[in-house]
């Protein structure tokens, strides 16, 4: 039996979009500032992951080529350092 998990950084979903808008209103900053100055301050890749990218990875995990990648968990951190501490959203 094979078990895999996909562990992405922020994915552009309706929930995340709603949270961005809420944080922008709460802190009187633009939505772009929420993304750039708060959410993506640590990742090296300065953009949200698109749902299609997660779909492509999930598809890859179901193919025979997956045998070449032994890691059961695939952290998509966009270059963000892995830490044991959680950073508050805002």
pLDDT at 77: 61
Structural domains of the chain, count: 1
Residue range 14-69, pLDDT digits in tens: 999 999 999 999 999 999 999 999 888 887 788 899 999 999 988 888 888 776 66
Judge whether 85 lies within some domain.
Answer: no
Helix (H, G, I), strand (E, B) or coil at 3: coil
**What DSSP string runs through the chain?**
----EEEES-B--HHHHHHHHHHHHHHT--HHHIIIIIITSS-SS-SPBPHHHHHHHHHHHTSGGGGG---SEEEE-TTPPP-SSPPP--
pTM for the model stands at: 0.67
Judge whether 86 lies within some domain.
Answer: no
Judge whether 87 lies within some domain.
Answer: no
> What range does the domain containing 9 cover?
5-76
Judge whether 90 lies within some domain.
Answer: no
pLDDT at 1: 62
Judge whether 9 lies within some domain.
Answer: yes
């Amino acid at each position: 039996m094979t078990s895999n998990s996909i562990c992405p950084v922020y994915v552009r979903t309706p929930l995340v979009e709603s949270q961005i808008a809420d944080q922008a209103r709460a802190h009187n900053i633009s939505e772009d500032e929420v993304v750039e100055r708060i959410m993506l301050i640590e990742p090296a890749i300065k953009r949200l992951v698109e749902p299609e990218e997660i779909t492509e990875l999930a598809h890859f995990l179901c193919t025979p080529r997956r045998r070449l990648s032994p890691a059961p968990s695939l952290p998509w951190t966009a270059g963000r350092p892995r830490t044991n501490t959680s950073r508050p959203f805002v």
